[in-house]
Amino acid sequence: MVAAAASPETDPDHRDTTPGKSPKIRAILAGGLVLGVGAAITLAAWNDSEFAQGTFTAGAFNLEGSTDGTAFGENPVSDPATLGFTAAPANLAPGDVVTAPFAVRLDGTTTNDATVTVSTEASTGALTGLTYSLTQSTDFGCAEPVTGTLVAAGQALGTTPGSVTFALTQGAGTADGDAVNLCFRITADDGLVQSQSGTTTWEFAAQSQ
């Protein structure tokens, strides 16, 4: 029996030797690789950023005091203003009343309104038989009309009741604020001790609002 000749389609050893066919296949594969690289490049991402900043500047705040209603300045605890009483408080007798005006304001550099709290900072010596009151007035001076009472008459000298406060407003632009005019009124009663001597210092503590 003669074996049938293998068909070109079924012969595993058959190789297509048609000129130019293999180079064409390689060219198509190469082209596919090139297209693949191109697709990867188009996946690159864009990046961008935004930034913001702020500038922060503190305001200014300064309280001044005056014993004459005209000249205002600093009066620290180490060098407090000396009140100018209408009569010499160095020779008091029972029934005497002496007064002294004082004013406070915010200076022209101040950028906030304020609440001022009044307290007794310190007292020395003997103050027996002495009481006081503290009032506000329309203008500077204890003879001016009273607009408010901060400390009622009869308060023992050297003490201050709680929550004694008043408001101060800053000036417009670089102008000084309006002054608050005050009056201390000291009264000697029958309990005054002969030859005693004492000193009291009040604090006006301003807090910005």
10 within some domain: no
- Structural domain that includes position 90: 63-208
Q: Is 39 left (phi over 0), alpha (psi -120 to 50) or beta?
A: alpha
H or E segment at 3? none
4 within some domain: no
State the amino acid at position 122 in one-letter form. A
Position 1 pLDDT exceeds 70: no
Beta-bridge mates of residue 202: 120
Tokens of 178: 């309006």
127-153 pLDDT per residue, tens: 999 999 999 999 999 999 999 999 999
Strand, helix or coil for residue 52: coil
> Of 21-25, 75-79, 188-192, which gets the smallest average pLDDT?
21-25
d(CA 163, CA 122) in angstroms, rounded, equals 17
16 within some domain: no
48-91 pLDDT per residue, tens: 888 888 888 888 999 999 999 999 999 999 999 999 998 778 88
Question: CA gyration radius for the chain?
Answer: 47
Domain tally, the chain: 1
Per the CB < 8 A criterion, the answer to whether 180 and 72 are in contact is: no
20 within some domain: no
- Average pLDDT, integer, range 157-175: 95
State the amino acid at position 194 in one-letter form. Q
22 within some domain: no
130 within some domain: yes
Position 12 pLDDT exceeds 90: no
